[in-house]
Structure formats: C-alpha cells, structure tokens
Structure 1
Amino acid sequence: MKIAILGAGSLGTIAGAYIAAGGQDVELIDVYQAHVDALNQSGAKIIGTTDFQTKVKAITPDNMSGTYDLVLLLTKQLYNDSVLQNLLPFLDEKSVVLSLQNGIPEEKVASIVGRERVIAGSVEFGATFMEPGVSKLTTEFGHFKEYAFQIGELNGEITERIHEIKTILDLVGGTHISDNLVGTKWSKLLINNAFSGLSAALNTEFGGVIDHEVSIVSAAHIADETIKVGHANGVTFAKMNTFDIASLEIKSENDIPERVQTLRNFMEPSRLLRASMLQDLEKKRKSEIDYINGVVPRLAKGKGIATPYNDMVVKLVKQAEETQSVPNFDTNIKFFEELNK
C-alpha cells in the first residue's frame, strides 16, 4: 500500500513518522521546503511527551508521482480546492482519502474526489510544530497510544477497507472505528465554535472565555445554535467521552445558568488552550473561521434558524484578518454583551 500524508505539519509529521517506522511505504508531502529538506536529511523527530526519531521520505506536492492507495488529508480547509484538484491525477478508483481536517469538510472533499473515495476521520491528539523536521507531541503518551484517531465511513457502515486503514493508523496510536463519525465531527465543531471561535474573536485563552460571564453565556448560545442547525441538517451528535453534547441545547431562557455551569465544568481541563485561529491572527495569516463558526450560518440558510452569535464571531475574526490586527478583549466583549441583552 502506498500512503501519502498530505500536509505534513505538526500532526502529519507524527503520523508519518510512526507509519514509516512500521515499515509502510509512506510519503510526507508539504509545501514548506525547509521542513521537507530537514525530514529527508535528519528524519522526523518527535519530542514532548515522547522522544522518537526515524527516517522518512518527504516531498513537495510538485514531486508527487504514481498512485496513492491511502491519503491522510491534513492540510487546512482553506486550500481544499487547489490541494484536491492537484491530488486527483494520483488517485485510482480504489484510492481512499481520509479527511482528518478540522470542522466538517467531508462533503466538500467528496464533491472533488468522489464520495466513494472518502472516509471521515478525527484526530484525537495534540501537537505543535517546533522547527523544520521537529514536532512536539502535547498529549500524554499513554493516552495517545490508546486514543489517537476515530475513523468511519460516511454512511456508518463497518467495511473491510475501514479495518485495513485502522491497521495502518494503529501504528501511530489507538484507532477507533465509529458508526457515527459525522456526529463526532459535529460535536467537535460545537466545542470549536464555542471556544476556539470566542478565543480568536476576543483574543484570550479558553480560560478567559470560561471566566467572563458575558463570554461563557455567549459560548452557551453558540453551542445552542450549532445543535439546532445540526439537528435541522439530520445530524445525530455523538457523545464526547460520556457527555451528551446535544444536552447543551437551550429550550428556554431558564436553561442558560445550567448550560453555563455544565460548559464551565466540561471545559475546565482545557483552560490553557489558545485557538489556532488566534495564532493565525497573531501571525497575520488567514484563519479557518469560514470552516468553523462559518459553517453554522451557512447550513442554517432556509431552515428558519437565527445564528447571531456565530455570525458575530465570524464578523469579528474577519475584521481582524482584514486589518491584520489582533482583537481587543474589552472592545469585542461589548458586542456579545449587546447580544446577551
């Protein structure tokens, strides 16, 4: 089996390293030439909660050749049109594209490469890109080895090919097959919308969202909008660990204090996280806001569901992108204060 890691950033470098060490034919593909050179010269080095180094083969996209049987898609959704069009000549009818991107990119991916080729996936470990050739695993190593990926067919079937892909990914870390991967990705999208979105729009860590009354109430409303739009689009939200994420839906104003307390308790272990979208704004780069909070208003169209909180997050992040500035908490919290009235 010939495997491609398309987008060998922090996560892709780790996945590629362990798959290569497992004796598989795998290419790490990335546009960052210095990273590709370092990987070829010194191998992939994984630090953080482990210390591991192994030889890998890395190339830039213009050096792709032959046919890939399995592609792990880890590029940003921003670039899906060009990345996937570029990939098409290297796929045959049995090739599988495993979408491991943030958000819910599967329909877009399927529209370009063909629905029959797409399997959905979810990355369950964290990593940080340190320097060319070096990635830092930030998830506790034992947990990573038990729980690194969830994968599933779009229709929920348990197929022979999903078991084959599990065998490959098990070389990296624990891989779990789901019959509701779409629901899993929507549950993750909800948390991203409520906390990554507000982290970026307000320029704060998740803890800043948790601690301020206006922002945590706003997070509850963002979660509620996401649930209502998901349900209207036929989504069954998957539990996160044992937590029923759909129970965050707000049926009346009286529910809000309880929803706020539930969110605070659930998110407390993640209070030090800073949204990658905020890191993009700090680096004056375009973020994935259209593929995170922007999904909700887009899929709400024609459903009669208002999405003012997700709309506001998108608006404030896009303003920061356009002005190449970082949001100001005290300024932007006032917009959410108005929505809460």
Structure 2
Amino acid sequence: MFMDKIAVLGGGSLGMLLAGKLTASGCDCVLWTRTRSQASLLNGNGLKLEDQSGDRLIKVKAVPFEDASAGEHGFVLVAVKQTALVPELQGKLAATIPVGGTLVLFQNGIGHFELLQRVLPGRKLIMAVTTEGALRIDSTTVRHTGRGETRIGDGHPEGIAELADTGNEPFSDELLHLERLLKQAGFSVYLSKQLGDAILRKLLINAVINPLTAILRIRNGQLTESSARLELMRSLFQETFEIVKDYGVGEETELWNAILQVCSATRDNESSMLQDVSAHKETEIEFINGVICRLAKEQGKEAPWNEAVMALVKAAH
C-alpha cells in the first residue's frame, strides 16, 4: 500500500508548480525549500498559482530543507537543478531519505541518475522527463506558462549507450501509484519503458532552446518570431541532431517540428537557463550542451555551435 504523502524538494518554478497542484488535488504534500525565509512566507501567505483558468491561493506546507526529517513520504520529487546537487545537498539527502525510500528525479540533461545512485545506495530512483512550463514570479508565486507532458519510468545506468528499452516487464505498482497522483493533480503523465528516448529528446530540445533564449534574453515563443532566430535554431539543431541521431533519438523532421511545438506551447515561458543567467546564477549548460560536446569528441566530430553557445552562456552569467 503506497501513501499519498509526497515531499517536493526545491522552491523554484517546477517545485512550486508540483507542490501547488499536488496540494490542491488533496495530496498530503510538503515543499522543502532552500531558504528558511521562503518557507516562512509560503506558510504565512500561501502559494499563488497563476494559470489559464485564473489565479488560485493554495495553502501549502513548507519546511526549509535543513529542517526536513525522514518521515514517511511515499515519494520525494527532486525538483532542483543539476547545479544544486552539490556534496552538501547530497549529504542531507542521504541523511533524510531512508534506505528503501523513493526519489523521483526531474533534472534536465544527463548524469544526475548516476550521481545520486552512487551517493544514495539502497534508494529507488525514478526518472521523470517533463515539458511543463513554469515561471517563478517571487517566493510565493508561480505561473504555469505552458502545459506539457511528463514521462516517468524506472531509473537505470545512464551512460548514453545504456539509454534503452527496459523490456516487457509490467510497470510496478509504485510507478502506477505515482502516475495516479500526478494525473489527479492535473498533469499529463505517461509511463514509459523507453525513457531513454524521452531523455535524449529532451536533451536535444533543451540544447537548442535553453542556450539561445539565455543568450538572446527572450522567452521561448520569441525564438521563432524572426527568420534570423530560426536560422540560429536550425543550425544548432542540425549539428546537435547529427551527434545524437545514432542513439535512436528519432527522425530529423519530426524532432525539428517538436522543438517548434515546444516553443509554441511554452511561448510565454522563460527557460530555466534564461532565469539563471538573469539572476547571475550558474546554469546547467555543462549538463546539456556540454554533454553534446563530449559526445561529439567521443565520435571524432566537431561541435562548433554547441561550443559557441556554451562559451556565450558561461560569459553571460
């Protein structure tokens, strides 16, 4: 029997969106924040969720992560960026999540599964790939800027070559329960035995949209509003596709159309990389375009577009 008790780690845009919608659906949810001040504001004022249906004030439970206790959480949704997975946070996770506990990883890019598998032995790791658009307005307000899809599946060793079909085994009761809770909260959720495909697709999409929006300081939808920007997108896309195509990522035209569709569906969204650059924070560029550059090197290929956007994003924050 799985509990409807969930902890969400991360008071950023995605963490606030998850915690707000899960709480509003009746789930027993606690939001673990990085700072004590954000937890205090959320507990005092509630969480304001802005979306197409209007604004809602949701009474969430918030606790600064440094005060978090193991408790009996059915799932811990890890909604911090890869750059936040520093040794201090790893140690706190190890002390807080008991052996046998389950974490659901929402990070962009590649590498976080292997890292947490190493530092959290005995815990079950579920991978999540989402295209939901969210923008944190302030410490207590999040805007749902674009509906997307979330795919979840059992974690596995994450070297690119191992991102493959997990076979014909039935989905676990745990995954089915998580799917039910997220759907109940209003998310479009799909279980997947081929999550590697979704991870690579998301990596490709992020490698095009995130750095260009960060460099140009524009929202996702603005990328497609001029021929010059579309030309930039197409050049970066074609180089990146040539590097990842042999891993079964999909067909070129369909993937290009998927990128355009994401720009349209999340047109009012500021990418996480743009938000980080604007706030002068470290970005996830190494875990996205940096991965593409390393794959290119392994293949004996050049990746000048990916190297250029990496340099520009690093110089911008």
Which category describes the TM-score, using the shorter chain as reference length? Answer: 0.7 to 0.9
The equivalences for 1:24-173 within 5 A come to 24-49=27-52, 50-67=54-71, 68-82=73-87, 83-104=89-110, 105-114=112-121, 117-139=124-146, 144=147, 149-154=150-155, 156=166, 158-173=171-186
Q: Does 1:308 align with 2:304?
A: yes
1:197 CA displacement? 1.3
CA distance in 1, matches of 2:216, 2:48: 34
Q: Does 1:288 align with 2:295?
A: no
CA distance in 2, matches of 1:61, 1:222: 38
CA distance in 2, matches of 1:134, 1:153: 32
1:267 CA displacement? 6.2
CA distance in 1, matches of 2:234, 2:242: 12
Closer, same or farther: CA 47–71 of 1 in aligned 2, 3 Å: same
1:165 CA displacement? 1.2
Query: Which AA in structure 2 matches 1:236?
Result: G
The unaligned stretches of length 5 or more in structure 1 are 238-244, 250-258, 322-341
1:264 CA displacement? 8.6
Closer, same or farther: CA 115–306 of 1 in aligned 2, 3 Å: farther
CA distance in 1, matches of 2:7, 2:262: 34
Report % sequence identity. 27
Q: TM-score, with normalisation over the residues of structure 1?
A: 0.75
Paired residues of 2:10 and 2:80 also in contact (CA < 8 A): yes
CA distance in 2, matches of 1:176, 1:10: 22
CA distance in 2, matches of 1:91, 1:275: 30
Closer, same or farther: CA 217–108 of 1 in aligned 2, 3 Å: farther
CA distance in 2, matches of 1:317, 1:295: 15
CA distance in 1, matches of 2:189, 2:244: 26
- Cα distance per residue 1:8-55 (max 9 Å; x no partner): 222222321332344443220111333211221233221232332332
- Cα distance per residue 1:64-107 (max 9 Å; x no partner): 11244411011111011332332012223321111112223333
1:163 CA displacement? 0.6
Corresponding residue for residue 160 of structure 2: none
Q: TM-score, with normalisation over the residues of structure 2?
A: 0.80
Closer, same or farther: CA 268–52 of 1 in aligned 2, 3 Å: closer
Corresponding residue for residue 242 of structure 1: none
CA distance in 1, matches of 2:95, 2:289: 32
1:215 CA displacement? 4.8
Paired residues of 2:241 and 2:252 also in contact (CA < 8 A): no
Closer, same or farther: CA 210–122 of 1 in aligned 2, 3 Å: same
Paired residues of 1:220 and 1:263 also in contact (CA < 8 A): no
1:312 CA displacement? 0.8
Q: Does 1:216 align with 2:230?
A: yes
Q: Secondary structure at the match of 1:285?
A: coil
- Cα distance per residue 1:307-331 (max 9 Å; x no partner): 111111101111223xxxxxxxxxx
The unaligned stretches of length 5 or more in structure 2 are 157-165
1:231 CA displacement? 4.4
The equivalences for 1:260-339 within 5 A come to 266=261, 269=264, 273-321=269-317
CA RMSD, aligned part only? 2.9
The equivalences for 1:10-29 within 5 A come to 10-29=13-32
Of 193, 198, 201 in structure 2, the residue corresponding to residue 179 of structure 1 is: 193
Corresponding residue for residue 339 of structure 1: none
Q: Does 1:201 align with 2:215?
A: yes
CA distance in 2, matches of 1:313, 1:181: 27
Of 238, 247, 251 in structure 1, the residue corresponding to residue 252 of structure 2 is: 247
CA distance in 2, matches of 1:272, 1:45: 18
Closer, same or farther: CA 266–171 of 1 in aligned 2, 3 Å: closer
CA distance in 1, matches of 2:104, 2:259: 33
CA distance in 1, matches of 2:36, 2:150: 28
Asked which structure has the greater RCO (Cα within 8 Å, sep 6+), the reply is 2
- Cα distance per residue 1:214-260 (max 9 Å; x no partner): 6534433432343343345xx432xxxxxxx53259xxxxxxxxx98
